[in-house]
Amino acid sequence: MVGQHTCLARRRESMDIGRQRPHQALFNPLALWSNLIYSTASNWMLQLAEASRSQQFAQCYGLFQQAIKALGTPAFDLEQVEFDGRRMPVSESVAMETDFCRLRSFSCERGSSGKTARSILLCAPLAGHHAVQMREVVQSLLPHADVYVSDWVDARDIPRAAGDFHLDDVVLTLQHFMVGLEPGELDVVAICQATVPALAAAALLVGAGYPEPRSLVLLGGPIDPRGNPTPLTGMAGSLPPSWLDALGTHIVPPGYRGAGRRVYPGFLQYPSLMLGQPERQFSLLFDYIQSHGAGDAHAAREAERSIAHYGAMLDMPAEFLVDTLRVVFQQTLLPKGIWRVAGGLVRPDQLRETRLLTIEGSRDTISGAGHTHAAQDLCVGVPQERRRRITIAGCDHYGLFAGPSWRTAVYPAVHDWLVG
Q: Is residue 255 part of a domain?
A: no
Domain end (from 295, 314, 333): 314
Q: Answer whether residue 49 shows pLDDT above 60.
A: no
Q: Answer whether residue 22 shows pLDDT above 50.
A: no
Residues 224 and 335 in one domain: yes
Predicted TM-score of the model (pTM): 0.81
- CATH number, domain at 205? 3.40.50.1820
Residues 218 and 336 in one domain: yes
Mean pLDDT of all residues in the chain? 82
pLDDT in tens, 221-272: 999 999 999 988 888 888 887 777 766 788 998 989 999 999 988 777 665 6
Radius of gyration of the chain from its Cα atoms, rounded to whole angstroms = 21
pLDDT in tens, 213-227: 999 999 999 999 999
Angstrom distance (rounded) from CA 232 to CA 221: 12
Tell me how far CA of residue 201 lies from CA of 188, 261, 274, 313, 383, in angstroms. 11, 26, 31, 26, 20
pLDDT in tens, 283-334: 666 666 677 667 777 666 666 666 666 666 799 999 999 999 999 999 999 9
Which domain does 376 fall in, by range? 92-109+117-230+319-419
pLDDT in tens, 333-378: 999 999 999 999 999 999 999 999 999 999 999 999 999 999 999 9
Question: What is the maximal distance between C-alpha atoms in the chain?
Answer: 70
Q: Is residue 243 part of a domain?
A: no
The DSSP-derived string for 326-376 is: IIIIIS-HHHHT--EETTEE--GGG--S-EEEEEEETT-SSS-TTTTTHHH
Confirm if 329 and 322 have CB atoms less than 8 A apart.
Answer: no
On the CB side of 169, CA atoms within 13 Å amount to 16
Mean pLDDT, residues 91-117: 86
Helix then strand then coil, % of the chain, to nearest 5: 50, 20, 30
Residues 200 and 124 in one domain: yes
